[in-house]
């Protein structure tokens, strides 16, 4: 039985999250949660996935998702993730404010454990995959110059 994932937000990250979910045989994207004023706009980016104004609306149709991918701006992640974890939802985000990652982990970890949920944070490009590659290259060439070009 595939893992039921909901995507919250349809910016660049949300669009790519939908694309990634549709090619994974062990996942199904049950819907995208968007602001009410955005419903019906940019429907081509939804790739046929239904859109909802709230998680409650999505659940009324598809049941509770196994995981909610938080594709909102990083500054909103602490509040949104904390609220969802407090209700027992598992979350994955791409929080990228480097100076706030340790505090976010500490806070969301405690909330997740208290409500028997899982919180995966900063699962994006940087921090994330790019950080791992950069660390590996620094281990291989510790006296080299390492920098990342985001362009």
Distance CA(129)–CA(148), nearest Å, equals 12
Q: Which residue has the tokens 């995959």?
A: 129
Res. 106: pLDDT tops 50: yes
Q: For residues 55 and 35, is the Cβ–Cβ distance under 8 A?
A: no
The share of the chain scoring above pLDDT 70, in percent, equals 97
Res. 24: pLDDT tops 50: yes
Please tell me the predicted confidence (pLDDT) of residue 149.
64
Res. 151: pLDDT tops 70: no
Average pLDDT of the residues in 45-50: 90
Res. 107: pLDDT tops 70: yes
Please tell me the predicted confidence (pLDDT) of residue 124.
76
Q: Of all helices (H) and strands (E), which one includes residue 21? A: helix 12-22
Please give the residue that has the higher pLDDT: either 91 or 139: 91
Average pLDDT of the residues in 6-34: 95
Q: For residues 127 and 98, is the Cβ–Cβ distance under 8 A?
A: yes
């Amino acid at each position: 039985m595939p893992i039921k994932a909901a995507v919250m937000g349809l910016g660049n990250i949300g669009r790519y999250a939908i694309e990634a979910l549709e090619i994974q045989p062990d996942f199904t994207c049950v819907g995208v949660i968007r602001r009410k004023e955005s419903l019906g706009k940019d429907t081509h980016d939804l790739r046929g996935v239904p859109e909802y104004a709230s998680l409650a609306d999505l659940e009324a149709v598809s049941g509770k998702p196994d995981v909610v991918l938080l594709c909102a701006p990083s500054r909103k992640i602490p509040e949104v993730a904390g609220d969802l974890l407090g209700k027992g939802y598992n979350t994955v985000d791409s929080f990228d404010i480097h100076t706030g990652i340790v505090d976010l982990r500490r806070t969301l970890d405690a909330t997740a454990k208290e409500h028997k949920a899982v919180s995966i944070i900063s699962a994006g490009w940087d921090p994330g995959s790019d950080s791992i590659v950069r660390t590996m290259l620094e281990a291989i060439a510790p006296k080299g110059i390492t920098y990342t070009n985001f362009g």
